Structure 1
Amino acid sequence: MKIQTISNKHLKLTTIDYGATIQQLIFKDHLGNDVNVVLGYKNLDSYIHNAPYLGASVGRYAGRISPNGITINQKNYPLYTQNEVHLHGGKEGFSFKTWKLVEISHGENPHITYSYFSKDMEEGYPGNLEVFCTYTLMDNTLEITYKAKTDQDTVVNLTNHNYYNLNGHGTITDHELRLYSNQVLDKGQTALPTGKFISVEGTHFDFRTPTLLQKQLAIAGIDDTYVVTQNNPLAELYSPKTHIQMKVRSNQVAVVVYTPPTLDEKLLLNKPISSYPAICFETQNLPDAPNHPEFPSALLKSGEVYTNKSKFEFSIK
């Protein structure tokens, strides 16, 4: 595994080629102290097939797909299934592959670009798919761009799986969260969407005004797909401890918000941690969209270009 680091006067980003993964993202708090606002593993070997997908690029299809597989142009393609779902692209997916370093620039807007070539029928998906992941630092913003092109019609849904903690350690229960979303996807026992949408009005899913995460996490952890009503921003996260605020923007129709109840502290750079140590914002299409014609299409046709562009802006509030 090879490490690459870029920085500007606001941010310092460290990535690894395995999974085109983010290991560290440094921003200064209100006292001028460096804070690693993402959780990362101390030893690179810990990233190999890690269950939390820590900081990884996820594909060919992020999220869950039903055990029926996918149907494209009247042909069904079976997909790897575990616990009655196909998750995050299959047995390995893009998160557990070594990506190629295409370019690194240390100029005014430094960037790192990785690529991965997914062969036809890898993990059961049709089409030779060429994927690019570019991390760019623009002032106080991390921009994550995924692009993909295929030689056969296929489905694509890419995202980044960063675990954010604006304190750099401990818990995110003291963070405030705001989501610009009126609906979440209803889900069944295996967390697959039923096809129905639930209004957040009067429910614990409602983050339309800034809400202390402790209130929600005392009820249940979050692992839900929020349908975006606006994307500039679509989410805001704030830590009163460090005064760091993060705004999330994206061209995607949804964001999967996930709060793991715990992670293995002994493996992490970020110490100490406690319950609910981080929160993920997986900007993407809806889970299982290939099996729900009422959802936005995840089909990528031959000759077209898929683009997921998301921005994470940091400031002191």
Structure 2
Amino acid sequence: MKKYSIENKYIKLITLDYGATVHQLITKDKNGDDVNVVMGFENLEDYRNNSGYIGASVGRFAGRIRKEGYHINNNHYDVYTENNVHLHGGKEGFSFKKWTLESIENGEEPSIKFSYLSPDKEEGYPGNLKVLVTYKLVENQFIIIYEATTDQDTIVNLTNHNYYNLNGNGTILNHELQINAEHILSKDADAIPTGDFTSVENSHFDFRTTREIGSTFEFKGIDDTYVLKENNPLAILHSKQTGIEMEVASNQPGVVIYTPEKMNEDILLNKPLETYPSICFETEKFSDAPNHPHFPSTHLKKGDVYKNETTFTFRIK
């Protein structure tokens, strides 16, 4: 497991080749002090048992697929399941693979590029899938670009699983959040989409106008897919404590917002932690999309190129 880092005058990024993982993302607060705004393990070996996918690249299919599997071109494919669902690519997925460093560039727009070749039938998915992830710093922007090509028709849904806290520790309940979405995906008892959409109005999911995450409604945590009305930006997160604001933009139709109630500060770099210590912005297409024809397609045809590009812009407000 190797570390690779790049930086400019705004941001420093530390990555790992294991899981093409973001280990630390450091920017300046309103006083000019460094703040690591993502969760990361103190001991790198803990990434091998990373049940929360902290900082990892997730694939071949981020999110959930129902236990019955899916069809491509009238061919049925079974999936590995735990607790009645296929989650984040299967038993291991891309988060627990060693990726290859393709390039590291310094200069005004530094970047790191990793690749992974997922062989045909890995986790049951058809096709040899070549995946690239590029992490790039452009002034005050942190950009993540996933690309993939296949030699057989397959399904692909990739995302990054950073856990953000713009204070660097504590809680995100005092962060201000806006999300440009009027609906979330309805889901069943196994968190599989039903195919319907639920309005966020009059619920703790409603961030159409900026408010503190812990305010207004009794906050019960979020682990849901927002159906984006606008994806540039799709969300804005702000900490009054540090003054750091993070604007999220993407070419994806949805974002899974996940706010774990607790995380183990004993094994994390970020200390101390409180209830609801972080928030994820998993930009992606929808869970179980192969089984819902009206969802944005996750079908990648032979010869086509999959691309997921997400930009995180940091500023002081």
State the match for 2:14 in structure 1. Answer: 14
* 1:261 match: 261
Deviations 1:145-182 (A, max 9, x none): 00000000000000000000000011111101100001
Q: What residue in structure 1 maps to residue 123 of structure 2?
A: 123
- 1:24-103 equivalences under 5 Å are 24-103=24-103
Equivalent position SS for 1:47: helix
Which segments of 5 or more consecutive residues in structure 1 lack a partner in the other structure? none
Q: What per-residue deviation string (whole Å, max 9, x for no partner) do you get for residues 53-77 of structure 1?
A: 0000000000000001121111101
Deviations along 1:123-149, one digit per CA (max 9) or x if unpaired, are 000000000000000000000000000
- 2:246 aligns with 246
C-alpha separation between the residues in 2 aligned to 1:173 and 1:184?
A: 20
In 1: Cα distance, 2:256 partner to 2:41 partner = 22
- Asked whether the equivalents of residues 173 and 217 of structure 1 are also in contact (C-alpha less than 8 Å), the reply is no
The letter for the 1-side match of 2:225 is: T
Contact 2:10 2:28 in 1 (8 A): yes
Superposed displacement of residue 217, structure 1: 7.7
Distance 1:85 1:216, change over 3 A: farther
1:146 and 2:109 aligned: no
Give 2:222's aligned residue: 222
Among all aligned residue pairs of Structure 1 and Structure 2, give the percentage whose two residues are the same amino acid.
Answer: 58
Judge conservation of contact 2:204–2:217 (CA < 8 Å) in 1: no
Q: When the two structures are superposed, what TM-score results if normalisation uses the length of structure 2? A: 0.99
The aligned length equals: 317
Mark the CA change 1:196 to 1:170 in structure 2 (over 3 Å): closer, same or farther.
same
> TM-score, structure 1 length as denominator?
0.99
Query: Could you say which residue in structure 2 is the equivalent of 1:168?
Result: 168
Ranges in structure 2 where 5+ consecutive residues have no aligned partner: none
2:186 maps to 1:204: no
Q: Does the 8 Å CA contact 1:183/1:197 hold for their aligned counterparts?
A: yes
Distance apart, 1:199 and its partner CA: 1.3
Q: Distance in 2 between matches of 1:171 and 1:6?
A: 28
Shift in Å at residue 216 of structure 1?
6.7
Give per-residue Cα distances to partners, 1:67-98, cap 9 Å, x unaligned. Answer: 01121111101010000000000000000000
What displacement does 1:214 show? 1.1
The runs of at least 4 aligned residues of structure 1 exceeding 6 Å deviation read none
CA RMSD of aligned residues (A): 0.9
Q: Distance in 2 between matches of 1:216 and 1:282?
A: 24
